[in-house]
Amino acid sequence: MKCNYCTGECSHNLCMHKVPIFSSLSQEEMSHISSIIKHNNYQKGEILFSEGDSLRSLIIINEGRVKGFKITPEGREQILHVFSEGDFFGERNLFGGQKSAYTAEALETTKTCIFTKEDFYKILFAHPGIAVKIIETLEERIARMESTMQSMGVRSLDGRIGGLLLDFADKYGEPAPEGILIRLPLSREGIANFLGVARETVSRKLGQLETEGIIRPVGNKNILLLDGEALKAMSGKDT
């Protein structure tokens, strides 16, 4: 892990430009705040923090992807979140004094921006609109987690896989001539850990979707979504 502070040389690539919670700030305000940002770099597989840690900072992903996970009583990894550019974490301790509820691990080379608790409080007092944006973002995150937990007990496996691929398409998809190219943030094993099933089950279901002409693998890390409507029908989401 490499740490450094932001200077004028990196002001053109500030995290604030990529994070919705800072959208109410002017360019001048963003430049002023840049002087208090610390940067950390992580390689794939490095741990940003562990479950039970007391974080005294807000961490924002500038580049890369991070998984948030817990280890179940059976010793299995259960992925709860996949964070990417513009996402943040550390708010539990920042606002409520609670310890981290999960472990965060870099899925690829990742660059983060960090605000200490004291500095971030100063920003909130000066710009209350940021607090509103944080609340809205956390509400969306809680809603996604509740949907995931409910689907694990209610929706069929086909529905859960379909719903997850649609979520990935929405966040990581790019228009392509034949459909939507999804740059998967997780490996097959990671998807299995997210859904709480065996890796072989995920591979079998993805193979079935390929046979049915709904998706097509593109290399090891991408999927081309060919029939979004069929995937929505399978997932049970509204068309």
In this prediction, residue 112 carries a pLDDT of 92
Distances (CA, A) of 136 to 1, 117, 129, 132, 166: 31, 20, 11, 6, 22
In this prediction, residue 8 carries a pLDDT of 42
Structural domain of residue 197, as residue ranges? 155-235
Give the largest Cα separation in the chain, rounded: 56
In this prediction, residue 57 carries a pLDDT of 86
Q: Examine the domain organization and report whether 116 and 165 are in the same domain.
A: no
Q: Examine the domain organization and report whether 85 and 116 are in the same domain.
A: yes
What predicted TM-score, i.e. pTM, was given to this entire model?
A: 0.76
Q: Examine the domain organization and report whether 21 and 119 are in the same domain.
A: yes
The parts of the chain modelled with pLDDT lower than 70 are 1-21, 23-24, 141-155, 237-239
* Residue that finishes a domain, picked among 109, 126, 149: 149
Q: Examine the domain organization and report whether 197 and 121 are in the same domain.
A: no
H helices present in the chain, as ranges: 27-33, 91-96, 117-126, 128-154, 157-172, 188-195, 199-211, 228-235
Q: Examine the domain organization and report whether 65 and 145 are in the same domain.
A: yes
In this prediction, residue 177 carries a pLDDT of 94
Residue 194: give its domain's CATH number.
Answer: 1.10.10.10
In this prediction, residue 26 carries a pLDDT of 73
Q: Examine the domain organization and report whether 133 and 163 are in the same domain.
A: no
Distances (CA, A) of 185 to 65, 162, 222: 7, 16, 9
**pLDDT tens digits for 147-157?**
555 555 546 78
* Residue that finishes a domain, picked among 97, 119, 149: 149
